Structure 1
Amino acid sequence: MRISVIGCGYLGAVHAASMAELGHDVIGIDVDPGKIQALKAAKAPFFEPGLEGILESAMRSGRLSFSTDIADAKGSQVHFVAVGTPQKRGENAADLTYVDAAIEGILPHLSEGDLVVGKSTVPVGTAARLAERIDEAGTGASLAWNPEFLREGYAVKDTIAPDRLVYGVAAGEKGLKAKELLDQVYATAIANETPVVVTDYATAELVKVSANAFLATKISFINAMAEIAEVAGADVTSLADAIGYDARIGRRFLNAGIGFGGGCLPKDIRAFSARAEELGRGESVRFLLEIDAINMRRRERAIDMVIEALGGQVYKKKVAVLGLAFKPDSDDVRDSPALDVAVRLNGLGAHVIATDPEAIPNSIRLHPQLGFATDTLDALHGADVVVLVTEWKEYRELDPVEIGELVRDKVIIDGRNVLDPVKWRAAGWTYKGMGRP
């Protein structure tokens, strides 16, 4: 099939390259010339494992191209809209400026039978409004909503071999035709028995935001238990292990720490709350406000632990911050708890030296006032306290004996509870975990 992908940010670039890898002829469209030039050279404008490999493969095959001119999307059968929906400045609601612009931009280039497919995370009710706009234009095209469920660090795998596919389609003949086209797009995944859920627009929109809300709730639940464990003298990691054996609960995402971040979970649960208020059902998801509050408190707790470890005196103390990205295997620092902790400690007068395998350039653009080290050992040298805030493999595997010779004081705050306290204490370190005695 011939496919266009409008928006070549994180979601769009991965989707375009993955669709080409699956054998489709794909053109990616974006208004950013720098981004398009990088993609044309098979260079990912962000770090995502495996992406550059399939970019190179798809470009060599001739199945993948990029352009800044949306008119080049003409002739495609399916047009994916994969632009961002950031949080509005000063509000919780989602900003749909880019989604609306993408739809208006593609309208003049649609043909009879074309399918526009939304992948962006949007407030419920958006798809119905956009479908009406496409109908009004009289192009003969129709709309479907096909939410993405990508995990940063696993995005290529999640696109090529998804764990489920959701189609939000119109009723009647339009919906049947939309399903047929989407089945062709995802023929490989369907042949591999990927479950397909065909539903209406509103349900498809809610699937994405409710999945994120549930995940955020699970993470904040265990962090709330960590708050109780700290005052009760309990160990939240053992607690999570114990309740995780219950098949109804499960162990995944029950890791207490400094909380979640990134470009999806925080803004999506806020936008969900805002949309519920608009629909007159704000009370139904009011608990999400507390989920958000718990999440933000964990950052404060990490900072308090550093202050306590330094005897209350932070000024001019060297703090080595291990991690800047919101999660490992990513260079994404959007709403990153790790970067936030580094910035706040710097604001308290600490001499912060932060490091990360991939996220330093993005962090410098946002907070050039911080100190940075590209080498982990350089960051650790002479540190009064070490704070692990992104659980990169190389940090999890640090040798406490070896690095103990580099630091001024053997004090570590494990903001992700990924280190072995017994091992570190045996090496002479003062180890402090989140919700651990």
Structure 2
Amino acid sequence: MALKITVIGTGYLGATHAAAMAELGFEVLGLDVVPEKIELLSQARVPMYEPGLEEILQRHVAGIEGSSGRLRFTTSWEEVGEFGDVHFVCVNTPQKHGEYACDMSYVDSAFASLAPHLKAGSLVVGKSTVPVGSAARLAGTLGEGVELAWNPEFLREGFAVSDTLHPDRIVVGVESERAEKLLREVYAGPVGEGSPFVVTDFPTAELVKTAANSFLATKISFINAMAEVCEAADGDVVKLAEAIGHDERIGKKFLRAGIGFGGGCLPKDIRAFMARAGELGADQALTFLREIDSVNMRRRGAMVEMAREALGGGSFLGKRVAVLGATFKPDSDDVRDSPALNVAGQIHLQGGQVTVYDPKGMENARRLFPTLAYADSALDAVRGADVVLHLTEWQEFRELDAAALGEVAGERIMLDGRNALDAVAWREAGWTFRAMGRPRA
């Protein structure tokens, strides 16, 4: 008999996982405690921008014309317990207010609510990013005859659907052959396509996600630290990155210097990792992550100072600043801990008249920074601006007509905070062009 799958929590991770499981052929029931989310998803709509997700929902949500009907949503724990064989817990683990540690209250609540309704023989699978040691503790909250596994997620915003259906690896922390067998059945499609299936114990599975994010953060902050050195020595960080990227031990990916990383995962994950290492008495092993975090935050301030210098080195008062980008990365509407909005906010607080444009993140940006001005297009944002800051590397911004923007700008000064624009093309169009970690001309 085919496995029936439930997904607990239908935020970014959960909604994507539920849709992908239906796409892989399973009957799926998603649960959330927020009725508005369930109502939206039951109409095959999502509260966030993620390419391809609504199309999959349209194909599978019950009640949608032409759908397979394999995917439903509910607020009932009883229904979930009765329905499912494998239960994926996909709730959020945000950073605690005023602390580095992550907030486990949503995970703990999900397990406490689910446990009384589970059938004997069920498998609960944690996908949330949690401190190492959490799985062993949570296993003790489940009833007799119910097993736990840990299966960390590695989703990249903007590529989440593909990352779920065609993962570059599947990691499962298990304590029995039966749990491994069930998860091999769940992921038979991707494994059949060649996705590696890595079987570990609980602690290793929990560490994989935070270790991967810490390595990625280290690589990004390393090249940003090199940008600082290049600025001091009049070197070119783009050429430096190209040269070291040819070394197979290093590789070319994530060596683009700029204003650093943000979002809802990378910053909070490395901070939570440091906090947990301290609790385990291994804090010295991760002290380097403090500097990684520091370099990352410092680049935002460097962008503000670059803008100040471009405007003559004085006050931002009365100066009109156009900011291209609000999301923390392209192909997403996520503005959580966005370096772009952080820079825009700093300049605004120092008296600048800041106007922001982003292809997908405007609504979320307005909610977070209601005092900033917002434009409906890049052209409108740049109109009359004394300086333009490129802070999120959307394809739309790489394809901008520099000459057309120059016609409406107050001053033709472009500062590239992502090293993604063609410096030659902008200079040929009459712009003063500067980028982080690069020579002035």
1:100 CA displacement: 0.4
SS at match of 1:117: strand
* Segments of 4+ moved more than 2 angstroms: none
Aligned to 2:127: 119
2-side partners of 1:151 and 1:131: how far apart? 28
1:286 CA displacement: 0.4
Aligned to 1:168: 173
Out of 63, 87, 96, which is 1:79 matched to? 87
2-side partners of 1:193 and 1:244: how far apart? 27
Residues 143-222 of structure 1 mapped to structure 2, 5 A cutoff? 143-170=148-175, 175-222=176-223
Out of 407, 418, 421, which is 1:419 matched to? 421
Aligned to 2:117: 109
Out of 362, 365, 368, which is 1:366 matched to? 368
2-side partners of 1:283 and 1:423: how far apart? 47
TM-score (norm 2): 0.97
Question: Structure 2 counterpart of 1:241, which letter?
Answer: E
Residues 197-346 of structure 1 mapped to structure 2, 5 A cutoff? 197-311=198-312, 312-346=314-348
**What's the CA shift string for 1:79-117, capped at 9, x where partnerless?**
000000000000000100000001011101111110000
Out of 45, 70, 77, which is 2:77 matched to? 70
2-side partners of 1:42 and 1:218: how far apart? 38
2-side partners of 1:37 and 1:98: how far apart? 21
* RMSD, aligned α-carbons: 0.7
2-side partners of 1:402 and 1:376: how far apart? 11
**What's the CA shift string for 1:328-387, capped at 9, x where partnerless?**
000001111011111111101111110111111111111111101122211111111100
Question: Structure 1 counterpart of 2:86, which letter?
Answer: V
Aligned to 1:141: 146
1:313 CA displacement: 2.9
2-side partners of 1:284 and 1:117: how far apart? 29
How many pairs does the alignment contain?
Answer: 430
1:319 CA displacement: 0.6
Task: Give structure 2 stretches of 5+ with no counterpart.
Answer: 62-66
Residues 400-419 of structure 1 mapped to structure 2, 5 A cutoff? 400-419=402-421
Task: Give structure 1 stretches of 5+ with no counterpart.
Answer: none
Identity %: 59
SS at match of 1:123: coil
SS at match of 1:61: coil
Question: Structure 1 counterpart of 2:370, which letter?
Answer: P
Aligned to 2:64: none
Question: Structure 2 counterpart of 1:143, which letter?
Answer: L
The answer to whether the 8 Å contact 2:115/2:141 transfers is no
The reply to whether residue 95 of structure 1 matches residue 97 of structure 2 is no
The reply to whether residue 36 of structure 1 matches residue 38 of structure 2 is yes
2-side partners of 1:3 and 1:349: how far apart? 53
The answer to whether the 8 Å contact 2:315/2:350 transfers is no
The answer to whether the 8 Å contact 2:325/2:358 transfers is yes
